[in-house]
Structure 1
Amino acid sequence: MKKWLCSALLFLIIPLANAAEILRWERLPLAVPLQVGQERVVFIERNVRVGLPASLQGKLRVQSAGGALYLLANETIGPSRLHLQDADDGTLILLDITAEPAKANEPQLEPVRIVEAERAAPRDEVDAPVSRPAAPTPLPVALTRYAAQSLYAPLRTVEPVPGLGAVPLRNDLVLDTLMPELPLAYQALAAWRLEDLWVTAVRLRNRSPRWIELDPRCLQGDFVAATFQHPDLGPKGEATDTTALYLITRGHGLVGSLLPTISPVDAALNLPRSRDDEK
């Protein structure tokens, strides 16, 4: 009887040895210690891009496959931070890692599983005040806010937008027809798409020695919405001579909403020639 009981206990203990450490992401960095020369697996169930500091090049091997990260420290690593960004919605998760040599008879670190923090339920649902659901944010507003945060805010503060994805920009994009009456230089910076809407971030730079007031009514093209990061531009060479413009288009990217470029016309071209010119 005692022999059977010991076997049963051993059967129950073995699976627990292979359990994963659960870490809850609550917008605070998660500590993930490593042992030099021993690979540690981090299950995240997301398709993530890993931001690796330059100081860890050659010290840390990072591989990603099937919603899991495989971290292997080749040498001792001091406190360092990894940025994990969801490739689909932009969600950012921060990992604080260190790596030390394993001590004698020290067991190998168990895998880590990162889960979303669950919202705590109210203690007394009867007495809890009834709150109305927030009105959904209009898509043009969500797109513009995401684009502005991506350019001007720290990466960790960018609010994820489900379904949003980056789209490539053409290298030969000509934007001189946007506001042809103003002495501005244009450069397309980035573009994103959500359902049938596109947002394109364009850098504006003043080329004149005077202040320029930016008015959306001066824009030439077919746009759903347009937003300037700043209301005006300072003289050329000043810190205020540059800003960003966010253009929302429907059904296609920015190219399909621009006015065609008109080449200058020589008024004398193709006019009837006089008899004196023919001599």
Structure 2
Amino acid sequence: MNGRLFSTIGVLLVSQLSAADLVHAQSATGIPPTLELGEVRTQPVEPNAAINASSSQVVRSSGSDLASESRPSIPGPEKRAGANSNPAPRKAKEARQRQVPERSVNAKPERIEFKRHPLKISLGNTERLVTFPNPVAVSLPSGAEADVDMQIIGRTAYFTMLAPRSAPIRVLVDDLVTGQTIPMDLLGVGAVDGLSSEVEVHYEDQLPADQQQVDRAEEQSPVLDMVQLTRYAAQTVYAPRRLKPLSDGVRSIPMDSKSIEGLFRGVRTRSRPIGQWRSGDLYVTAVQVVNLEGRSVSLDLEQIRGRWIAAALQHHHVLASGSDYDSTTLYLVCGQSFHSCR
């Protein structure tokens, strides 16, 4: 009787052990190259000025239409965010879940020196990080919360444009250590391809040593005006390698070469930046423009979208789409990089 009872208990123990092992196993598996520049249009309105060149002209034009687009909004009652402010629960949760944004084509941080003039930061559909020397507080104008998302963590401000906006948003940045106020314009451009996702702001006379050396070298180099800079770009694009120009006062700027639609009003074109150069405070970008119309067209510089100081065409007239001469090169001059001005 006892032997039978022990045998029965042993069978039950073996059955339970086999079932436990089974559960554990299941859980464990579980165009001709002629250098004939077109017209260069600039602002403000002045009498026509002739340039001593066989085929180049500089024509002055009014910039009133551009001024209305770039007028900053007037700050009203402000919403202030500081380095030690307590955001709403949703904002705090987003900050905790924040991931480092993807690097853009230009991974090196963009460096800006503050010299009393408002800083200009281009925003698109991606987040940009603006880092200051000290912890800061940022004041947004009334109503701007619907257009831009802003978070402050220590010395870094995180900005994302929530909706397209033609006019810049003026924000005030207060340095919590030095007490100075830094005006900053947030530009709602459509894309920031080619720009770094990170911006480093430095105060005057406080730039890193390597950047100070670069700035001193640029100050000692000759600075080209807009006509000379446009001619330099045209020669760089079309001239043979042995005849390409060299200038200590011009340096190449990396950028994204993604195609752009609708650069010209009233005509279907496809545009692609192919090079960008800087001399002093001026940038020039060479843009290949391809005619998508089934007919030949004459391109009008007045119909270019963007905030440009000057523009020039290699050829004004292009043939129908698909022909050998359905494209030309456009040169655009601006006080900032290409994607900040278009």
* TM-score, scaled to structure 2: 0.34
Query: Whose helix fraction is larger, Structure 1's or Structure 2's?
Result: 2
* TM-score, scaled to structure 1: 0.41
